[in-house]
Amino acid sequence: MTAELRAGDSPKPTNAVRNFLQTHCADCHADGASEGGLDLDRLGADLSDAAVLDVWIRIHDRVRDGEMPPPDASSLSKSDALKFADAIRGPLEHAHAKQKATVLRRLNRREYENTLNDLFGTEVELKSLLPADGRSHEFDNVGETLGISMVHLERYLSAADTVLDAAIAKTVHAPKQHHIDTHYAETREGKTHLGKVWKQLPDGAVVFYQDFGYPDGMLRTSSIPKAGRYRITITGYAHQSDTPIPFYVGAKSFARGSERPTLGYFDIPPLGEDGEPTTVELEAFLDERYMLNIIPYGLVVRDYNIRRDGVDGYDGPGLAIRKVTLDGPIQESFPSRGHRLIFDGWQRTEIEPHPPSKREKSWYVPEFQLGSEDVDSAMKATLRRVAEAAMRRPATSTELQPYVQLFHAEWDRESNDEPSAQAADPEEALRTAVAAILCSPDFLYFREPEGRLDDHALAVRLSYFLNRTFPDERLRADADAGGLVGNANALIEHARRLLSDPKSTRLVEDFTDAWLNLRDMDQTSPDQKLFPEFDTYLRDSMLEETRSFFAKLLQENRPVTDLIQPDFAMLNRRLAEHYGIEGVEHADVRPVAISRDSLRGGLLGQASILKVTANGTNTSPVVRGVWVTERVLGIHPAPPPPGISGVEPDIRGAATLRQLLDRHRDEDSCRACHALIDPPGFALESFNPIGGWRERYRSLGEGDRVDLQVKNRRVQYRLGLPVDASGELPSGESFDGFQTFRQYLVSQPDQLARTVITKWLTFATGREMGFSDRAEIDALVARSAKTHHSFRDMLELVVTSQIFQTK
């Protein structure tokens, strides 16, 4: 058994540590005994080993919190336990502080894509080109998990070429703007379905079909001729309906395996008193040859009536569409920002085609000649511009020299390959050098000095935290002027400004995807026999509910308890229908006032959370309990000991998972952790795998038949055993269901705030918070309590903290 801990030059505890472990822990964790996976005879003392440090921190915490040694196995007093914790705290803090300073962090896939697109003014999808990023707990931007390989470098070169291709102008004049004006009567589907399930009107066509079924709503005549951002208008009205009709707008391609992006959900009212229809407008990026797909939602079509009376005699509601227009590609500027970044200071002229009439041909692609009176000066100016933008700081001549040499090497090679004596066009050599900058460590990695960050590193950290990209001009100017270090007011001012930038939606998406695990929304598909009500509209609404909810908490500086029990919910018609909330008719997600007694509104009542913590068929109190424990309470339970099998649900419905877990917890090695993680999971058992409320479990085996139709079909599931959502917390407090448990969480605002602050710090700094960060996090929580732990106030405390400003 170890006698003392070693952490470099850190102070060493006395032999009191050895005596304590021998007296209070050896019976269960030494001399051949290793309960809970802890064997003190094998435990090292070198705290520079991260695994050894983790074990000692767990020992510290469990002794300090009174969990170990068990009260029934020891007479240890609280004061002696605290003395032991104090004796090892210093070495643990010192060891962790040394480890965290060594983290080197690169851009993850999302940051890489944002940075290149924002730098060059493009909208290219790059994330899928790169290998998946590793995760540390929830987050995929933690430095220690972001390795690099030859595959990465190959893909970075490919991505750089893709972006440069998109940014560099291929014509002399701005690309042709396309205007597409179409309606359903012109489509092949229209010719097939008009007069059958679609109705022809003098001013358009009416679609009667339900949801996402047949026939499809694809507008083939809206095929996109050139990828880009388009302005879309849809003009129509609710036909034979007194209320608005919601509809989906998406994009679709015939290419096998192509994505089908959702562009939005809208609703259109009946004709106005003046007889005029309504026009819905939106903007979206559309790839070449994609077509719009417009589908009404919620129309209960009476097929028998259509077959009997014909579509002209059918009196049910439908979506009437007069016309659809698309205009684009919409360009920020021509040539692009990236084109100017590279070629400002050069003369780039079109090479005269032979014969000149080639320009009139549809297949003609211009060729260009790049030149300058002083190629060397123009080249160096370009490389400095690109390097300083890409590196997010001033670049020295020494740092630029390798790229200058690469340019000359490429240009000389191309010149030698030319059959004539004339020097080769320098464009390819320049492009090669620019691509090299975009694959360099200074671009791919955050340059952060150990200790206190300098102004540029601080600007970069703040910008990637809140906008997920490089600093804008104002932030960069403050960094250049040395106005950030030691200036809390400047950091707060920039933070507020960046949060009001449209790019802050990236923070909401990336942070909630990681913290709440929304990225796994599509990891499982709900069993359609058990959950026939699940559809694409509900799935998309689930995500939008949680993201817009978090954005509202931040924008309105709401208290942290609203995370659990707010007086509003972010709802649309589909979510309200799913939750059984009346009076919500709009298609888009908006704030709706609710009672604080409502089951909905807070995170734990949101369908997205309840779906990502289930497997599509069953729920597990263990999975949901771990999610609540880690993501809401900020406590990371130890992993199960080796050789302990998981508990699988009984899909026949003959036994609940609670009954199976009762037997599982009889094992000594499982009891302590399950006492922590199972109660929150039990509290959420009243929600099914897609977030619906339930009193009984659904089953495809045993149970009572259900007299219910969904989408005009009788459900196949049965109702099985009743749900028991009661439990007992480790503190001894009991709860009888979800609402009582939720009240317990609301009564712990400091714990909720500690979790949010810790998660933000992890996401912002790119490293996991650890032992040496605890004291400052506790201080931040105490300061936050003075303003009721309001969300934006907590964020401002984070960006002005020492943790945020140091490495």
Provide the pLDDT for residue 206. 86
Same domain, 155 and 203: no
Say if residue 677's pLDDT is above 70.
yes
Same domain, 659 and 789: no
Same domain, 122 and 169: yes
Same domain, 756 and 742: no
Same domain, 63 and 126: no
Peptide bond into 202 cis (omega under 30): no
Say if residue 581's pLDDT is above 80.
yes
Same domain, 527 and 405: no
Say if residue 40's pLDDT is above 80.
no
Give the range of the structural domain holding residue 590, as residue numbers without chain letter: 518-746
Considering the domain boundaries, does residue 552 fall inside one?
Answer: yes
Q: Residue 108: which of 80, 82, 90, 134 has the closest Cα? A: 134
The residue type of 467 is N
> Maximum distance among all alpha carbons in the chain?
99
Q: How many domains does the chain have?
A: 5
Say if residue 239's pLDDT is above 80.
yes
Q: Which of 29-43, 190-204, 422-436, 681-695 has the highest mean pLDDT?
A: 681-695
* Of the candidate ranges 68-77, 121-130, 416-425, 486-495, the one whose mean pLDDT is the lowest: 416-425
Considering the domain boundaries, does residue 504 fall inside one?
Answer: no
Same domain, 91 and 222: no
Provide the pLDDT for residue 671. 59
Last residue of a domain, one of 416, 447, 478: 447
Same domain, 419 and 554: no
Q: What is the pLDDT of residues 374-391, one digit of tens each?
A: 999 999 999 999 999 999
Provide the pLDDT for residue 376. 95
Considering the domain boundaries, does residue 234 fall inside one?
Answer: yes
> What is the pTM (predicted TM-score) of this model?
0.90
Q: Which residue has the higher pLDDT, 60 or 777?
A: 777
Provide the pLDDT for residue 477. 97
Q: What is the mean pLDDT of residues 388-405?
A: 96
Last residue of a domain, one of 330, 361, 395: 330
Considering the domain boundaries, does residue 472 fall inside one?
Answer: no
Q: Which residue has the tokens 């943790």?
A: 803
Same domain, 198 and 345: no
Considering the domain boundaries, does residue 461 fall inside one?
Answer: no
Q: Give the separation between CA 509 and CA 519, rounded to whole angstroms.
A: 9
The 3-state DSSP class for residue 630 equals helix
Q: Give the separation between CA 768 and CA 761, rounded to whole angstroms.
A: 8
Q: What is the pLDDT of residues 619-653, one digit of tens each?
A: 989 899 999 999 999 988 766 655 555 555 544 44
Provide the pLDDT for residue 639. 66
Q: What is the pLDDT of residues 654-675, one digit of tens each?
A: 456 666 656 545 555 555 677 7
Considering the domain boundaries, does residue 480 fall inside one?
Answer: no
CB 701 within 8 A of CB 691: no
End-to-end alpha carbon distance in the chain: 34
Provide the pLDDT for residue 546. 98
Kindly compute the dihedral angle of the four CA atoms of residues 785, 787, 792, 794, in this order, to the nearest 10 degrees: -20
Same domain, 712 and 796: no
Provide the pLDDT for residue 18. 73
Same domain, 302 and 392: no
Q: Which residues of 487-516 are buried (b: 16+ CB within 10 A; e: fewer)?
A: beebbbebbeebbeeebbebbbbbbbbbbb
Considering the domain boundaries, does residue 474 fall inside one?
Answer: no
pLDDT bucket at 425, cuts 50 / 70 / 90: confident
Q: What is the mean pLDDT of residues 412-429?
A: 72
Same domain, 784 and 727: no
Considering the domain boundaries, does residue 33 fall inside one?
Answer: yes
Q: Give the separation between CA 658 and CA 678, rounded to whole angstroms.
A: 9
Last residue of a domain, one of 75, 100, 125: 100
CB 290 within 8 A of CB 232: no
Q: What is the mean pLDDT of residues 63-86?
A: 79
> Residue 283: which CATH number?
2.60.120.260
Q: What is the mean pLDDT of residues 544-564?
A: 97
Q: What is the pLDDT of residues 513-535, one digit of tens each?
A: 999 999 999 999 999 999 999 99
